[in-house]
């Protein structure tokens, strides 16, 4: 009897452990799922539904179904929309060209383990930890009309943040100052992971460092390149903080994200119209994210 009791105990312990493990797994899967549905999917679906309505956000009784009128009005009679699209495209191209190329160059130089490389990595990455609003205030020291460094050195009297012909480019330079360090860190991590034998084989074949980078190393870092492309697209679409603290996205700094805020939390409080703008921005970003995920999954299957 004692022997039989001892044999039954491990089975009971295993059964209890199995039940506890299932509960833990259910909690670990269920809690994040509920949070994602509550904080991501429900607001997204609510925005899509509100985009077909006219609502001031106060009483549900004032909610009025208008169909696709908001989208038609955005494309036809809403003056800031097309300038905002153009500015977002400029933002995308600028981030993709200048900060990305400069970030790659810095990563290649710092990958050589030069003296003081840790200090330079920290110095170039430091702006990344700052918010875009704070970056806008910092660059005010350079762009200020009366006491800015640029006007003091050149003797000019240019309103860098206020002139609608140049304020977008001024903001892009400030954005590039922050974005370059992020790109540098991504490519620096990618360079650290490249097999050293590839460099040695290219050197034995007589390839120069430039040819080795573009023909051997850069193609190997294809996953990093895809991540950078997606990050640049998302950054260009969600750019908001710096233009909002400058002039609330007006007078030459119109962006889609700023237009959403102007209509949802501004004086107009047009929730349906603002939701339509948000849906347009969501659809544009979803296209690039879907392409990225498709490429990643395709590589994993290979």
Both 24 and 81 in one domain: the answer is: no
Domain assignment present for residue 163? The answer is no
**Is the model's pLDDT at 271 over the cut of 50?**
yes
| Residue 96 included in any domain | yes
Q: What does each C-alpha distance from 276 to 153, 215, 244, 286 come to in angstroms?
A: 46, 45, 20, 15
Judgement on whether residues 218 and 273 belong to the same structural domain of the protein: yes
- pLDDT band for position 1 (50/70/90)? very low
Any domain includes 160: no
Rounded to 5 degrees, what are φ and ψ at 164?
Answer: -65, -15
The stretch 10-35 carries a mean pLDDT of: 76
Specify if 156 maps to a domain: no
Q: Is residue 200 part of a domain?
A: yes
pLDDT at 93: 92
Q: How confident is the model at residue 247 (pLDDT cuts 50, 70, 90)?
A: confident
Cβ–Cβ under 8 Å, residues 142 and 158: no
Shared domain for 42 and 104, answered yes or no, is: no
User: pLDDT tens-digit profile of 92-121?
Assistant: 999 998 999 999 999 988 888 778 788 888
Asked if residue 184 and residue 45 are part of one domain, the reply reads: no
* Digit-coded pLDDT (tens) for 143-168: 988 888 888 888 888 888 888 889 89
Instruction: State the average pLDDT over residues 41-54.
Output: 90
* Calpha distance 50→187 (Å, rounded): 41
> Is 253 in the same domain as 290?
yes
Task: Give the count of alpha carbons within 13 A of 284, CB side only.
Answer: 18
Residue 241 lies in a domain: yes
State residue 217's pLDDT score: 85
- 188 and 291 both lie in a single domain: yes
For residue 142, tell me if it sits in a domain: no
CA of 280: how far to CAs of 73, 76, 240, in Å?
13, 15, 16
Q: What is the pLDDT of residue 11?
A: 53
| pLDDT score of 19 more than 60 | yes
- Per-residue pLDDT for 14 more than 70? no
| Mean per-residue pLDDT of the chain | 84
- Structure tokens, 264: 């949802």
Same domain, yes or no, for 13 and 43? yes
* pTM (predicted TM-score): 0.82
Instruction: Determine the structural domain holding residue 237 and report its residue range.
Output: 69-114+180-301
Please report whether residue 252 resides in a domain: yes
Looking at the predicted structure, is the pLDDT value of residue 4 above 90?
Answer: no
Q: Are residues 40 and 82 in the same domain?
A: no
Q: Is 102 found in the same domain as 23?
A: no
> Is the pLDDT confidence value at 3 over 60?
no
Q: Are residues 76 and 46 in the same domain?
A: no
Confidence of residue 10 (pLDDT cuts 50, 70, 90): low
Do residue 6 and residue 85 come from a single domain?
A: no
Q: What is the pLDDT of residue 16?
A: 53
Q: How many domains does the chain have?
A: 2
Same-domain check for residues 86 and 6: no
């Amino acid at each position: 009897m004692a022997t039989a009791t001892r044999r039954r105990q491990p089975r009971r312990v295993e059964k209890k452990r199995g039940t506890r493990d299932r509960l833990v797994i259910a909690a670990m899967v269920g809690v994040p799922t509920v949070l994602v549905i509550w904080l991501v999917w429900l607001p997204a679906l609510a925005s899509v539904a509100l985009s077909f309505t006219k609502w001031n956000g106060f009483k549900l009784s004032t909610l009025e179904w208008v169909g696709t009128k908001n989208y038609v009005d955005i494309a036809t009679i809403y003056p800031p929309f097309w300038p905002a699209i153009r500015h977002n495209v400029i933002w995308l191209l600028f981030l993709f060209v200048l900060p990305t190329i400069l970030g790659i160059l810095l990563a290649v130089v710092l990958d050589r383990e030069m003296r003081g490389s840790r200090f330079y990595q920290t110095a170039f990455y430091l702006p990344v930890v700052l918010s875009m609003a704070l970056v806008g205030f910092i660059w005010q020291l350079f762009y200020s009309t009366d006491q800015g460094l640029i006007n003091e050195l050149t003797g000019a009297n240019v309103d860098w943040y206020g002139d609608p012909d140049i304020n977008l480019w001024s903001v892009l330079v400030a954005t590039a100052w922050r974005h370059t360090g992020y790109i540098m860190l991504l490519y620096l991590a990618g360079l650290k992971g490249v097999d050293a034998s590839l460099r040695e084989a290219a050197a034995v074949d007589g390839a120069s460092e430039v040819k080795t980078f573009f023909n051997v190393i850069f193609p190997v870092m294809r996953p990093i390149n895809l991540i950078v492309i997606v990050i640049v697209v998302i950054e260009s679409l969600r750019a908001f903080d710096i233009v909002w603290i400058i002039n609330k996205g007006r007078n030459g700094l119109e962006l889609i994200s700023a237009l959403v805020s102007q209509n949802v939390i501004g004086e107009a409080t047009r929730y349906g119209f603002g939701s339509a703008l948000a849906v347009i921005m969501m659809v544009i970003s979803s296209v690039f994210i879907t392409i990225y995920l498709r490429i990643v999954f395709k590589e994993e299957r290979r």
